[in-house]
Amino acid sequence: MRVVNFAHGEFLMLGMYAAFWAFTLLHADPYLTLVVALPLFFAVGWGSYALIMRPIVHTSHNVQVFTTVGLSIVLQNLALVLWSGDARFVRTSYYGSVISIGGAVLNLAQAVAFALAVAATAALFAFMRWSYTGKLMRATAQDRSAAALMGIDTGRIYALTWAVGITCAAAAGVLLAPIYAVYPTVGLQFVLIAYIAVVLGGLGDMAGALIAALIVAAVEVIGSYTVGTAWKELLYLLLFIAILVVRPAGLFGERGSETLGV
Amino acid sequence: MRTYGGALAFFAAAGLAPLLVGDAFLRDSLVLILIWGSAAGAWNIAGGYAGQISLGHSAFFGLGAYAAALCGVRWNISPWWGLLIGGALASAAGMVIGFLSNRLRGPYFVIATIAVSQVLLLGASRWRGFTAGSEGIPVPFRPGFWSLGIADKRIWVWIVLALALVVYLAQVYLERSRRGLQLAAVREDEDAALSLGVAARRLKVVAIAVSAAFSAVCGALWAQYVGFVDPLYVFSVDLSLRFALAAIIGGLGTALGLGSHLIGLYLILYGIALIVMVRYAPQGLVGWLRGR
How far is residue A187's CA from residue A169's CA, in Å, rounded to a whole number?
10
Which pLDDT belongs to residue B122? 82
Is the model more confident about A85 or about B61? B61
Cα torsion through A14, A88, A19, B266, rounded to 10: -20
**Which of B104, B126, B275 is closest, CB to CB, to A244?**
B104
Which pLDDT belongs to residue A261? 38
Nearest residue of chain A to residue B115 (CA atoms): A237
Residues 253-282 of B with CB under 8 A from A: 266-268, 270-275, 278-279, 282
Q: Touching check for B95 and chain A: CB below 8 Å?
A: no
Residues 106-125 of B with CB under 8 A from A: 106-108, 110-112, 114-116, 118-119, 122-123
What is chain A's mean pLDDT, rounded? 81
pLDDT, one tens digit per residue, over A45-66 is 999 998 888 888 777 777 788 8
Q: The whole model's pTM is what?
A: 0.79
Which pLDDT belongs to residue B283? 58
CB atoms B274 and A72 under 8 Å: no
Which pLDDT belongs to residue A25? 86
**Which of B119, B274, B278 is closest, CB to CB, to A237?**
B119
**β-bridge partners, A107:** A98
Which pLDDT belongs to residue B149? 67
What is chain B's mean pLDDT, rounded? 75
Which pLDDT belongs to residue B43? 85
Which pLDDT belongs to residue B259? 42
pLDDT, one tens digit per residue, over A107-130 is 787 888 888 888 888 888 888 888
Complex ipTM: 0.76
Model confidence band, residue A40 (pLDDT cutoffs 50, 70, 90): very high
CA distance A211 to chain B (A): 19
On the 0-12 / 13-18 / 19+ scale of CB atoms within 10 A, B185 is: middle
pLDDT, one tens digit per residue, over B73-94 is 777 777 787 788 888 888 888 8
CA angle A150, A154, A157 (to 5 degrees): 120
Which pLDDT belongs to residue A235? 80
Residue A202 near residue A257, CB atoms below 8 Å: yes
**The 3-state secondary structure of chain B, one letter per residue:** CHHHHHHHHHHHHHHHHHHHCCCHHHHHHHHHHHHHHHHHHHHHHHHHHCCCCCCCCHHHHHHHHHHHHHHHHHHCCCHHHHHHHHHHHHHHHHHHHHHHHHHCCCHHHHHHHHHHHHHHHHHHHHCHHHHCHHHCEECCCCEECCCCECCCHHHHHHHHHHHHHHHHHHHHHHHHCHHHHHHHHHHHCHHHHHHCCCCHHHHHHHHHHHHHHHHHHHHHHHHHHHCEECHHHHCCHHHHHHHHHHHHHHCCCCHHHHHHHHCCCCHHHHHHHHHHHHHHCCCHHHHHHHHC
How far is residue A255's CA from residue A82's CA, in Å, rounded to a whole number?
45
Closest residue by Cα to residue B57 from B203, B208, B201, B200: B208
Alpha-carbon distances, residue B86 vs A34, A152, B151, B215 (angstroms): 49, 54, 23, 9
Residue B115 near residue A237, CB atoms below 8 Å: yes
pLDDT, one tens digit per residue, over A236-261 is 788 888 877 777 666 666 554 444 43
Which pLDDT belongs to residue A42? 92
Model confidence band, residue B254 (pLDDT cutoffs 50, 70, 90): very low
For residue B240, pLDDT beyond 50:
yes
How far is residue A13's CA from residue A7's CA, in Å, rounded to a whole number?
10
CA distance A84 to chain B (A): 14
Is the model more confident about B248 or about A14? A14
If you average pLDDT over residues A2-25, what whole number do you get?
87
How far is residue A64's CA from residue B287's CA, in Å, rounded to a whole number?
19
For residue B24, pLDDT beyond 60:
yes
Which pLDDT belongs to residue B292? 46
CA distance A78 to chain B (A): 7
Residue A214 near residue A152, CB atoms below 8 Å: no
For residue B53, pLDDT beyond 70:
yes
Which pLDDT belongs to residue A163? 92
Enumerate long-range contacts of B124-133, CB under 8 Å, 24 or more apart: B124/B62, B124/B66, B124/B231, B124/B234, B124/B235, B125/B231, B125/B232, B126/A230, B126/A231, B126/A234, B130/B70, B130/B74, B131/B66, B131/B70, B131/B231, B132/B73, B133/B231
If you average pLDDT over residues A197-210, what whole number do you get?
74
If you average pLDDT over residues B254-258, what whole number do you get?
44
For residue A10, pLDDT beyond 80:
yes
Alpha-carbon distances, residue A101 vs A104, A108, A110, A111 (angstroms): 5, 11, 13, 10
CB atoms A244 and B100 under 8 Å: yes
Give the torsion sign (CA, A19, A21, A24, A26). negative
Cβ of B164: how many Cβ atoms within 10 Å? 24
B205 neighbourhood in chain A, CB within 8 Å: none
If you average pLDDT over residues B126-136, what whole number do you get?
71
pLDDT, one tens digit per residue, over B141-197 is 676 666 666 767 777 778 888 888 888 888 878 778 888 888 888 887 777 888 887
On the 0-12 / 13-18 / 19+ scale of CB atoms within 10 A, B16 is: exposed
Which pLDDT belongs to residue B145? 66
Which pLDDT belongs to residue B262? 41
Which pLDDT belongs to residue A1? 60
Q: Touching check for B250 and chain A: CB below 8 Å?
A: no
CB atoms B119 and A238 under 8 Å: yes
CB atoms B115 and A192 under 8 Å: yes
If you average pLDDT over residues B272-287, what whole number do you get?
62
Which pLDDT belongs to residue A13? 92
CB atoms A4 and B244 under 8 Å: no
